[in-house]
Structure 1
Amino acid sequence: MDINQLTVSGKVMKVTKTGNSNGTKMVLGTLGIYRGKNKETNQPEFDNLPFVAYGSVSEYIQQGIKMLLSGKINVYTRQDGSQYGQRVVQMQVLVAYPIAMPDKPAIKEHPSTGLDMDSLDEAVDQITIKDSDLPF
């Protein structure tokens, strides 16, 4: 069992898709994790966790959807010109599962025929199938 293991869920807030020098797909982003409601304002509060994902895992991460991310903590020092550099703490995502997809707008007309979808639904509801119509 790996002690450096982290599993979190939240909404993917910001995503930047890039690649590194050897052509590996890479995603940098921020996950908004629900903390609770503020006692004074009664507004929801979120903690923002930066993450990075490499390879095929990066293809599953999409901005604006709720996801369950599992991985490990990465800590490194980025040289920013100061004497000690800047310490960066982020999650390296090894597994990504969508929890909820964004709502899609309802289709009003059929894409290939252009017919009104409501009238098509009504026509389908009026079809009745008898046992004699079945081949078995």
Structure 2
Amino acid sequence: MQLTNTGNSNGTKMALGTIGVYRGKNKETDQPEFDNLPFVAYGAVSEYIKQDTKMMLSGKINTYIRQDGSQYGQRVVQMQVLVAYPIATPDKQSIKEHQSTGLDMDSIDKAVDQINVSDNDLPF
């Protein structure tokens, strides 16, 4: 994600940037493909968007014609961010120990993987 924090002419805080939207894997190369989508966020939402942090952005897609001197102008597609949630931060370490029991999380994950539930175990 590329990000620029700024303000507009009437003092409203803004965040402008570009995000990569996952498109799927290329059938020939099996590599992930992304489309770059410009976004804008206003006010308090703009303060939650941080560079180098994986974010979930939710909002609406706007399209408009920007007059660029050509006969028809240039079509602009832009996401207006209404909600921003960080989903991972670079300085946050993974949890190694369960908070209430003190058990090692790897051993808990392995134990959960060994649990098998069949249709006979379900009450419906």
Q: Post-superposition shift, 1:14?
A: 0.7
**1:1-136 mapped onto 2 (5 Å cutoff):** 13-103=1-91
Q: Post-superposition shift, 1:90?
A: 0.7
Structure-2 residue corresponding to 1:117: none
Q: Post-superposition shift, 1:37?
A: 2.3
Deviates further, 32-41 or 76-85: 32-41
One-letter amino acid of the structure 1 residue matched with residue 73 of structure 2: G
Taking the aligned partners of 1:35 and 1:20, their CA distance within structure 2 comes to 32
One-letter amino acid of the structure 2 residue matched with residue 91 of structure 1: M
| Corresponding residue pairs, total | 93
- Match of 2:69, SS state, is coil
Q: Post-superposition shift, 1:27?
A: 0.9
One-letter amino acid of the structure 2 residue matched with residue 64 of structure 1: D
Unmatched runs of 5 consecutive residues or more in structure 1? 1-12, 106-136
Instruction: Give me the TM-score of the superposition, normalised by structure 2.
Output: 0.67
Taking the aligned partners of 2:88 and 2:20, their CA distance within structure 1 comes to 14
Taking the aligned partners of 1:88 and 1:65, their CA distance within structure 2 comes to 26
Which one has a bigger Cα radius of gyration? 1
Instruction: Give me the TM-score of the superposition, normalised by structure 1.
Output: 0.62
Taking the aligned partners of 1:35 and 1:87, their CA distance within structure 2 comes to 21
Name the Cα RMSD after superposition: 1.7
Structure-2 residue corresponding to 1:125: none
- The alignment-based identity, stated in percent, is 83
Q: Deviations over 1:73-130 (max 9, x none)?
A: 212211111122111111101110011112569xxxxxxxxxxxxxxxxxxxxxxxxx
